[in-house]
């Protein structure tokens, strides 16, 4: 496996700053979050589409009903269309 060379100066400085704060090497400062992210992605990929959709629906609930009827006039009003 090849070495990783971070060409973006801001990213390299961020890795150094985090490494200093954690008292670890820059390699550990980059490796550990990547390892956790990879594991989270693998866990997400193992979930069924139904589980993922249920989680999305729970995180993005529908608004309260307004009691208004969504008829042709309503949809036309969304597009500023007049009756023709």
Question: Counting every residue, how long is the chain?
Answer: 84
Q: Which two tokens stand for residue 41?
A: 């992605």
Task: Indicate whether 40 belongs to any domain.
Answer: yes
Q: What Å distances lie between residue 67 and 33, 64, 70, CA to CA?
A: 47, 9, 9
Contacts of 19 (CB under 8 A, 6+ apart): 25, 26, 28, 29
Task: Indicate whether 39 belongs to any domain.
Answer: yes
Task: Indicate whether 23 belongs to any domain.
Answer: yes
Q: For 65-74, how does the pLDDT look when each residue is reduced to its tens digit (9 = 90+)?
A: 888 888 888 8
The chain-wide mean pLDDT, for the chain, equals 90
Domain count, the chain: 1
Name the residue range of residue 21's domain. Answer: 1-58
Task: Indicate whether 3 belongs to any domain.
Answer: yes
Task: Indicate whether 69 belongs to any domain.
Answer: no
Instruction: State residue 67's pLDDT score.
Output: 86
What is the mean pLDDT, run by run of 10 residues, along the chain of 84 residues? 86 95 95 95 92 94 87 85 59
Task: Indicate whether 76 belongs to any domain.
Answer: no
């Amino acid at each position: 496996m090849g070495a990783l060379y971070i060409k973006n100066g801001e990213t390299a400085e961020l890795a150094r700053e985090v490494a200093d704060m954690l008292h670890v090497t820059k390699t550990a400062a980059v490796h550990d979050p990547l390892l956790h992210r990879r594991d989270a992605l693998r866990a997400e990929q193992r979930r069924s589409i139904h589980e993922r959709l249920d989680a999305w629906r729970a995180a993005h609930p529908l608004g309260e009903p307004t009691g208004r009827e969504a008829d042709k006039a309503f949809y036309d009003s969304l597009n500023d269309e007049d009756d023709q």
